[in-house]
Amino acid sequence: MNETCEQAKDFVSELVRDLGFNLSVTANWTDEGCMLNLSGEDAHFALAENGELLDALEVLLFQIYGRSLDREHRFVVDAEGFRQTRKAELHAMARFAAEQVRKNGRAFTFGVLNSTERRIIHMSLKEESDLITESVGDGRDRRLQVRLQ
């Protein structure tokens, strides 16, 4: 496993222990980057508020260890398969948006998505030659827009 990924795993393990959660952390290195998985009786806390704790851990890991990763790699923190389920939802949302744009000819703007979610939709639609995906806005107001080319 990548050394940075191992350091990230150790950091998250210590953090969840210090916070009093009954969670174990496993990590593996994939083409996408460092995948960390939280499991244990307190995993439901990590999934509260649509996985905000998972998002927060990813932000922390990127701030601490991000310079050690190549640009195409990222940290992904998951619990109970939440990220895979969300990824499938985002692919379905991308297909729906593409269908709406083609049908109506008007741009489709998604609601609030974090940067990882926006990236999944960008990647999902990148092979669609008649569509453009673009992130518009700044900060918390950043939205993903799909429109005809």
Say how far apart CA 29 and CA 19 lie, in whole Å: 26
Distance between CA atoms of residues 23 and 57, nearest Å: 14
Whether the Cβ atoms of residue 35 and residue 28 lie closer than 8 Å to each other: yes
CA distance linking residue 37 with residue 107, whole number of Å: 36
Q: Taking 70 as the threshold, does the pLDDT of residue 23 lie above it?
A: yes
> With bands split at pLDDT 50, 70 and 90, how would you rate the model's confidence at 128?
very high
Cα(104)–Cα(41) distance, rounded to whole angstroms?
A: 47
27-71 per-position pLDDT tens digit = 999 888 999 999 999 999 999 988 889 999 999 999 999 888 888
Domains in the chain: ranges and CATH? 3-80 (3.30.300.20), 85-148 (3.30.1370.50)
Examine the pLDDT at 1 and tell me if it is beyond 80: no
